[in-house]
Amino acid sequence: MTVKIDTDKCGHITNCPAAGLCIQICESEALVNENDDVKVIDGNCTDCDLCIMNCPNQAISKA
């Protein structure tokens, strides 16, 4: 199962209190910066949940 980004909670990477930490800690490169938004690459997600646990806006969940 891959993760889902709630764009209402996430905002944009430039507005993130953690400066896009989810992208930085994703070891499988399932989260990428696309035009200042977090984009999920479904096939890369390994369900490690690091992004969910570390998102300061609680904008990431299981799809």
**pTM of the entire predicted model:** 0.90
Domain that holds residue 24: 3-62
Element (H, E) at 60: strand 60-62
CATH number at residue 9: 3.30.70.20
Does the pLDDT value for residue 1 go beyond 90?
no
pLDDT tens for 4-40 read 999 999 988 999 999 999 999 999 999 999 999 999 9
Burial of 25 (0-12, 13-18, 19+ CB in 10 A): middle
Reported residue count of the chain is: 63
Amino acid at 5: I
The domain total for the chain is 1
